[in-house]
Amino acid sequence: MSLHRLRQITVGVPDVAGTTSFYEAFGLSPAAGGAFRTRDGGEQLRLVTAPWRRLDAISIAVDDADDLHRISRSLTADAIAHTINDAELNVHEVYTRISVSLVVETREEIAAPPPVPAVNSPGSVGRRNVPAESVLGASPIQPSQLSHVVVGSPNWAASMHFFTDLIGFETSDALDGIIAFTRCSEVHHNLAIQASPAPFLHHFAFEVDTADDVLRGGSNMVDADDSRHVWGIGRHAIGSNWFWYLRDPAGNFVEYTADIDRITAQDLYVPKAWAGKEFLYAYGPPIPDAFLEPPDAHAIFAAASKG
């Protein structure tokens, strides 16, 4: 795959200043121009002013200019307007209303992943004579990288065609016509597209090092303000990722996630025929209605349908 990283998302919110402190508490580091840095991925979230919360833009890394020109030829064959030079290609997807930017960037491994904390299990004791690291006042949670974003499209098939056939995302798992989990890296899903009455931002996620960090991060956020809690801690079946979903002041759902599946080539991965609640999760607390139908969804559908 010529795509290799989800670089950044731009999220529109009505009140950028009022949303900023949430993401600082979440563990991201503020930078200039409404941007926030993850520990290992640079500036990966940008907040901009918008009349309602929404995903405005997504930026994806490609290997070289040849990749951009190949994508350009696909877009041209479908008569889709775009701009291109040897460093960057910019295009707008009309149904999700996302501005898509493809940027030439060198592949880099995450520099020095922190050591996995020692764990005790009956057959393998990794820690003796000391409590677990995470209960000893461990350092604040710092998400490693942006993991994924989930959006709604009023024309699911057309948006899927755009992102997979033209841009080059690969589909890891899909429930046809309902939702597809697609990736632009080894991460099981970087972009999930679900059918929806209007363009809609469902949630976005940042990857932390361990399930323990998902629990500790979610717990810290909810201890400070229990209205932030949405759903967690649990583990998804599709993608295997641990999750704890929180609500930011604009109403966006944002997820701490850990241990998400990696896929190196689609023909090495056998999607399962997901059934029943596996579609949503493997285990954890029951799913709240507000996760399936966010309370502001209808107002956003109405606003987005008008403009």
| Positions that interact with Fe ion (CB under 5 A) | 205, 255
DSSP 133-195: GGGTTPPPP---EEEEEEEEESSHHHHHIIIIIII--EEEEEETTTEEEEESSSBS-SEEEEE
Q: Give min distance, CB of 81 to Fe ion, in A.
A: 31
Q: How far is the CB of 72 from Fe ion (least distance, A)?
A: 31
**From the CB of 214, what's the least distance to Fe ion, in Å?**
12
Work out how close the CB of 33 gets to Fe ion at its nearest, in angstroms, rounded to a whole number.
26
Least Å from the CB of residue 210 to Fe ion: 17
Minimum CB distance to Fe ion smaller for 68 or for 200 = 200
Nearer to Fe ion, 103 or 280 (CB): 280
Residues 6+ apart with CB under 8 A from 179: 192, 193, 194, 195
Angle CA 89–4–91, to nearest 5? 20
Do the Cβ atoms of 149 and 58 come closer than 8 Å?
yes
Of the pair 7, 148, the CB lying nearest Fe ion is at: 148
Instruction: Write the CB contacts of 30 (distance below 8 Å, at least 6 apart in sequence).
Output: 20, 23, 24, 36, 37
- Annotate 280-299 with b (16+ C-beta within 10 A) or e (fewer): bbeebeeeeeebeebebbee
SS (H, E, C) 2-57: CEEEEEEEEEEECCHHHHHHHHHHHCCEECHHHEEEECCCEEEEEEEECCCCEEEE
* Euclidean distance between CA atoms 124 and 59, whole angstroms: 42
Please, which residue, 28 or 71, has the CB nearer to Fe ion?
28
Least spacing, CB of residue 150 vs Fe ion, in Å: 6
Helix (H) or strand (E) holding 289: helix 289-292
Nearest to Fe ion of 89, 239 (CB atom): 239
Least separation in angstroms between residue 205's CB and Fe ion is 4
**CA dihedral of residues 182, 205, 110, 262 (deg, nearest 10):** -40
- Residue 43 or residue 255: which is nearer to Fe ion going by CB? 255
Which lies closer to Fe ion via its Cβ, residue 51 or residue 271? 271
Residue nearest to Fe ion (CB): 205
Q: Which is nearer to Fe ion, 205 or 304 (CB)?
A: 205
**Measured from the CB of residue 104, what is the shortest distance to Fe ion in angstroms?**
28
DSSP state of 287: P
Tokens of 101: 């930017």
